[in-house]
C-alpha cells in the first residue's frame, strides 16, 4: 500500500495552485493532478522533490515529465470521460495515471523494455489500469485505432504520419516536434479528414526513437 498522508496532499494542493498561476485552467486536469500521488513514482533518494514543478530521472536515461508539461499537454487535448487515448512513451506511468484519473480509456506504449516491465507492474498497484504495450510507438498501435486523442511524450523530428492516420475524425494529436534540444508543441486536429495545425511554446523532451522518430 502506498502511503499518502496529509503532508503529501498539502504539497499536491500547492503544486495545483502553482499550475493555476502558470496558466493551467482545465479543472479536470487540475483535479487529476491533485489526486495522483506523484511521490509514489519517485525513488527514495529523490522523494523530497516529488511535488516540485520539475522533470526528474526515472532510470534508463529517461525522465518523468515536469508537472506543468503534463498539465499543458493534457489540457490541450480537451479530454472527456470515456474517450480513447493513445500515449506514446509510458515512462513512469504518471501521465497515463492522470489520463485514467480523468476517465479516459488509455492505451500506452513504451519502447524501453525495462521501463515497460516496471511500469505495467507498478501502476495497477496505485489503482490505475491502462492497456500497456511494448514497442515502437512512433508507428502508433494500428490494431487498436482509431483514437479520439493521441499524446506523444517524447520529442519527435517530424509529425509521424502513422499517428495522424490513426486519429479519429474530430480527434486531436499533441506532439512536441523539433531538434534534439528543443521542440515546439504542436496540436493537430483532424476534421473531415483534413489536418489543422496549431503551434504553442517550446519544450525540451527526451527523443522519440523508432521508425518515424530519431534513429538512436
Ligand atoms: N509519459 C512519461 C511519464 O509520465 O513518466 C514520460 C515520458 S519520457 C519524457 C519519454 C518516454 O518515451 C521514455 O520512457 C522513452 O523510453 C519513450 N520513448 C521514446 N521513443 C519511443 C517510441 N518510439 N515508442 C514508445 N516510447 C518511446
Pairing of strands 62-64, 131-134: unpaired
Ligand 1 centroid from CA 137, angstroms = 9
Cell 514497442, located at residue: 135
pLDDT of residue 44: 85
- Ligand 1, atom 18, lies closest to the CA of 89
Mean pLDDT, range 114-136, rounded to an integer: 97
Residue 92 annotated to the active site = no
Query: Per the structure block, which three cell numbers stand in for 84?
Result: 480513447
**Burial of residue 210 (number of CB atoms within 10 Å: 0-12, 13-18, 19+):** buried
Give yes or no for residue 46 having a pLDDT over 70.
yes
Give yes or no for residue 9 having a pLDDT over 70.
yes
Give yes or no for residue 11 having a pLDDT over 90.
yes
Give me the residues paired with residue 203 across strands. Answer: 183
- pLDDT tens digits, residue range 52-101? 999 998 888 888 999 999 999 999 999 999 999 999 999 999 999 999 99
Say if residues 151 and 71 touch (Cβ distance below 8 Å). Answer: no
Mean pLDDT, range 131-148, rounded to an integer: 98
Nearest ligand 1 atom, CA 208: 20
pLDDT of residue 59: 84
The CA distance from 46 to 51, in Å, is: 10
- Out of 65, 154, 209, give the residue to mutate to test ligand 1, the one with the largest number of ligand atoms within 8 Å of its CB: 154
Give yes or no for residue 112 having a pLDDT over 90.
yes
Assess if CATH 3.40.50.2300 describes domain 58-203: no
Q: Is the peptide bond before 146 cis (omega within 30 degrees of 0)?
A: yes
The CA distance from 45 to 137, in Å, is: 31
CB-defined site of ligand 1, < 6 Å: 62-65, 88-89, 91-92, 94-95, 109-112, 115, 136-138, 153-154, 205-206, 208-210, 213
Mean pLDDT, range 174-178, rounded to an integer: 98
pLDDT of residue 216: 72
Query: Is the pLDDT higher at 154 or at 1?
Result: 154
Dihedral of alpha carbons 75, 76, 82, 86, sign: negative
Burial 12-51 (b: 16+ CB within 10 A, else e): beebbeebeeeebebebbbebbbebbbbbbbeeeeeeebb
Amino acid at each position: 500500500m502506498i502511503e499518502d498522508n496529509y503532508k503529501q496532499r498539502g504539497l499536491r494542493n500547492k503544486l495545483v495552485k502553482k499550475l493555476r498561476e502558470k496558466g493551467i485552467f482545465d479543472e479536470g486536469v487540475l483535479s487529476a493532478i491533485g489526486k495522483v500521488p506523484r511521490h509514489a513514482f519517485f525513488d527514495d533518494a529523490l522523494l523530497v522533490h516529488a511535488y516540485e514543478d520539475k522533470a526528474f530521472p526515472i532510470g534508463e536515461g529517461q525522465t518523468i515529465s515536469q508537472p506543468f508539461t503534463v498539465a499543458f499537454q493534457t489540457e490541450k487535448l480537451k479530454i472527456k470521460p470515456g474517450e480513447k487515448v493513445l500515449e506514446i512513451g509510458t515512462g513512469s506511468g504518471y501521465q497515463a495515471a492522470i489520463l485514467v484519473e480523468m476517465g479516459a480509456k488509455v492505451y500506452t506504449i513504451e519502447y524501453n523494455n525495462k521501463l515497460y516491465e516496471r511500469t505495467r507492474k507498478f501502476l495497477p498497484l496505485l489503482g490505475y489500469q491502462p492497456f500497456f504495450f511494448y514497442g515502437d510507438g512512433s508507428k502508433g498501435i494500428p490494431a487498436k485505432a482509431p483514437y479520439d486523442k493521441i499524446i506523444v511524450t517524447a520529442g519527435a523530428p517530424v509529425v509521424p504520419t502513422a499517428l495522424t492516420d490513426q486519429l479519429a475524425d474530430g480527434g486531436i494529436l499533441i506532439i512536441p516536434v523539433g531538434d534534439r534540444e528543443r521542440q515546439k508543441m504542436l496540436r493537430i486536429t483532424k476534421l473531415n479528414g483534413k489536418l489543422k495545425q496549431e503551434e504553442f511554446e517550446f519544450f525540451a523532451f527526451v527523443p522519440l526513437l523508432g521508425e518515424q522518430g530519431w534513429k538512436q
